[in-house]
Structure 1
Amino acid sequence: MTLRFSDVCIDARDVRALASWWAAVLGWPAEDTDDGDVVLRSPEGAPDWLFLEVPEDKTGKNRIHFDLTPDDQQAEVDRVLGLGARHVDVGQGDESWVVLADPEGNEFCILSAQD
């Protein structure tokens, strides 16, 4: 069996806005696809992120989320909040990671910096 992990597919009401937001967060280039979707091209070895338009808003907590590891956790939390993320309480309690949500409400974590 041969499979290659090629894309993370993300549903969005506004694919261009959400893809542009994540492009600013990650520093990855965004490209329109022939289907009207938007893809973020990841660095070598990581899957691309494909934003797919859907008619409905997100409801409920994500079943899968992204964990992002920074060099400086507080600096990245501040930067991403400045781009429009918001703090989210998903029942995490007092932990070393920070749970945030993107402009469409998708939760993700910024972990502690690793040495």
Structure 2
Amino acid sequence: MTALISHTSFDSLDAHAQSVFWAKVLDFHEDPEDPNQPDDDECMISSADGSQRLLFINVPDRKQVKNRVHLDLQPAEVGGRDEELARLLALGATEVADRRLPDGTGWVVLADPEGNEFCILRSEAERSAV
């Protein structure tokens, strides 16, 4: 017997706004038969194939400490870490810590609009070029 991950849940002050931000970051979508609304207490988004789902749930309190679980993101086929960093900052992420090293390795720690940390890594092409 094995347990499968149904989805990953995030506590949010504004579930809808968080679902919109992360849908843009990950190119995820909402269920067209059950679209997310601004006043929804829960908002789900999914990858194109439906294999990955994120659920944002309204809670009354703000994030107070560093998250114990976070997402590590890798740029898709086009572009690299620094281009993806610029895109994520333009979407509303904020930089928390720059862990890039002079040799090109490393990552950048970011926070989403509600302060949840996540990291942007190098792309597969950048790692293979070394």
- C-alpha change, 1:43 and 1:6, in structure 2 (3 Å) is farther
Work out the CA distance in 2 between the residues paired with 1:67 and 1:98: 10
Report the Cα distance in structure 2 between the residues aligned to 1:19 and 1:43, rounded to whole angstroms. Answer: 15
Ranges of 4+ aligned residues in structure 1 off by more than 3 Å: 92-95
* 1:53 partnered with 2:38: no
Q: Which residue of 2 aligns with 1:113?
A: 123
Q: How do residues 57-96 of structure 1 correspond to structure 2 at under 5 angstroms? A: 57-70=62-75, 71=77, 72-89=80-97, 94=101, 96=106
Deviation, 1:45, is 6.3
TM-score (norm 1): 0.87
Give the alignment's TM-score, normalised by structure 2.
0.77
Residues in 2 aligned to 1:42 and 1:79: alpha-carbon distance in whole angstroms: 19
Give the gaps of 5 or more residues in structure 2.
126-130
How many residues are paired up? 113
Which structure 1 segments of 5+ residues have no match? none
CA shift for structure 1 position 58: 0.3
1:32 to 36, 57, 74: 36
Q: Alignment partner of 1:25: what SS?
A: helix
Q: Counterpart of 1:108 in structure 2: which amino acid?
A: F
Q: Which entry has the higher C-alpha Rg, 1 or 2?
A: 2
Query: Aligned-pair RMSD on alpha carbons?
Result: 2.1
Corresponding position of 1:3: 3
Q: What letter corresponds to residue 75 of structure 1 in structure 2?
A: E
Indicate the percent of aligned positions where both proteins have the same amino acid. 42
